[in-house]
Structure 1
Amino acid sequence: MMPQTYPTSGGSSTPRGVSPGRRAIDVLVAGTALLALSPVLLVVAMLVRLTSPGPVIFRQRRVTTGRREFTMYKFRTMRTDCEGPDLTRSGDARVTGPGRVLRRTSLDELPQLLNVLRGDMTLVGPRPETPALAACYPTELKWILDQTPGLTGPAQISLRDDVALDGSPADIERWYVENLVPRRIAVDQTFLADPSVPATLVVLARTVRYLVTGRRWVPQGG
């Protein structure tokens, strides 16, 4: 069997925002979802507040279009009395009990709809990276940081984000950058080559199916 290869370049190295059509979908879907899901947002906020001390919303710096930084919002799923690497391992002791449920159902990501409305993110795109990990990306893969990050995306519904490895934070981050990042970019590259409105709607439909059934999308040849 031939070894699997991953992309070493892609598209333009200049900042690449979303098209007017995709931006219209972002505003319509994110605004409607925030209104429709407001009862869910309230319940989740109360759950986070009542089950562990600390803020309801977790704020973290991430990288957006043109490698600029922005503040990304999530419901807090981790304890505030312990530190660790940017990456979350499977069974990470920092994650609270309710936090595991929120992560498994992706409810912790709902506040990012605000990021979509603000234009920091789009509905479909590559996963937003932290500045520290982005700085470790190989040069040939840093083109992905010029794209607008997404709330969902092909890689996000086909690959696990939690790192199931033991070892020091440095070992885990090295494995993540050298192994998982190239795999994610290879999956996302097909969409990013032609991020049209129809392609966006297809990924959104696959995301809904994943959230409802728990079945991950498997790319052709994956």
Structure 2
Amino acid sequence: MLLKSCFDRLVSFFGLIIFFPVLFIVAILIRVKMSGGPVIFKQNRVGKNGRLFTMYKFRSMTVGHGGSSVSVAGDSRITPLGAVLRKYKLDELPELWNVLKGDMSLVGPRPDVPGYVDCLIGEEREVLKLKPGITGPASLKYRNEEVLLAKVENPQKYNDEVIFPDKIRINLYYYHNYSFWKDIQMIVCTVLGRKMRYNNEII
């Protein structure tokens, strides 16, 4: 895991430098198009070993919104600009800072809000031994999660009973079968929007 850690820090450092113009432009657009709120959305997420950390993303929703932690495509809380940022994953670029700080990894399980990890039992809790990631096998499989949830009658129930358990299954496989080269492949597939074969399925 030392190679993974060094790779994370190196790539996140140069990533922040390379993507600085994009970060700057997105920040200006949010300030202009979504005035009245912060540019950066901060939220407590559960990290490695269950430790809470502050995750940073570009704000994509209206200020002071309520409702479920599960969002779907067409959600009224998501602004038009926010929808574009989410579609191209630009809202997640500030998470490179989390990677540089050591709170997150480039590849790993997506960090959940407090509450979901409380449902993990037995072997499932091994997922908490991993640093959460910007992308990962479960993220690739459910890259269109918001669209999928918009098609079901009860998005929250479908997420809790179908998607969340499947993500745990995929992330457990990732934990027990870690490969640095698979990490590289996942990063490339995330950037290029491509699919890959992983654990005998296409993600």
**Partners of 2:61 and 2:16 in 1: CA distance:** 23
Contiguous gaps of at least 5 residues in structure 1: 1-18
The alpha-carbon distance between structure 1 residues 83 and 198, as it changes in their structure 2 partners (threshold 3 A), is same
Q: How does 1:73-92 map to 2 (within 5 A)?
A: 73-92=56-75
Tell me the alpha carbon deviations over residues 109-142 of structure 1, each in whole angstroms, 9 at most, x when there is no partner.
0000000011110011011100023224455533
**Partners of 1:72 and 1:161 in 2: CA distance:** 20
Pick aligned residue for 1:112 from 75, 92, 95: 95
User: Which residue of the partner structure matches residue 43 of structure 1?
Assistant: 25
**Partners of 1:155 and 1:148 in 2: CA distance:** 14
Q: Which protein has greater RCO, CA pairs closer than 8 Å, 6+ apart?
A: 1
**Partners of 1:221 and 1:27 in 2: CA distance:** 30
Whose helix fraction is larger, Structure 1's or Structure 2's? 2
User: Which residue of the partner structure matches residue 3 of structure 2?
Assistant: 21
The alpha-carbon distance between structure 1 residues 73 and 118, as it changes in their structure 2 partners (threshold 3 A), is same
Tell me the alpha carbon deviations over residues 43-88 of structure 1, each in whole angstroms, 9 at most, x when there is no partner.
0001111111200000011011101100000000000132111111
Pick aligned residue for 1:161 from 145, 152, 158: 145
The alpha-carbon distance between structure 1 residues 166 and 80, as it changes in their structure 2 partners (threshold 3 A), is farther
User: Which residue of the partner structure matches residue 9 of structure 1?
Assistant: none
Output the aligned Cα RMSD: 1.8
Calculate the TM-score normalised by the size of structure 2.
0.88
User: Which residue of the partner structure matches residue 162 of structure 2?
Assistant: 179
SS in 2 for 1:60: strand
Calculate the TM-score normalised by the size of structure 1.
0.81
User: Which residue of the partner structure matches residue 79 of structure 2?
Assistant: 96
Count of aligned positions: 196
User: Which residue of the partner structure matches residue 13 of structure 1?
Assistant: none
Asked if the contact 2:127/2:175 (under 8 Å) is kept, the reply is: no
The reply on whether 1:192 has 2:175 as its aligned counterpart is yes
Task: Point out the more displaced range, 79-88 or 62-71.
Answer: 79-88
What is the aligned-residue identity percentage?
A: 37
Tell me the alpha carbon deviations over residues 94-122 of structure 1, each in whole angstroms, 9 at most, x when there is no partner.
00000000000000000000000111100
Asked if the contact 1:136/1:177 (under 8 Å) is kept, the reply is: no
Supply the AA of the counterpart residue of 1:161: E
Asked if the contact 2:127/2:171 (under 8 Å) is kept, the reply is: no
The alpha-carbon distance between structure 1 residues 58 and 126, as it changes in their structure 2 partners (threshold 3 A), is same
**Partners of 2:63 and 2:136 in 1: CA distance:** 29
Contiguous gaps of at least 5 residues in structure 2: none
Deviation of the 1:218 alpha carbon: 5.5
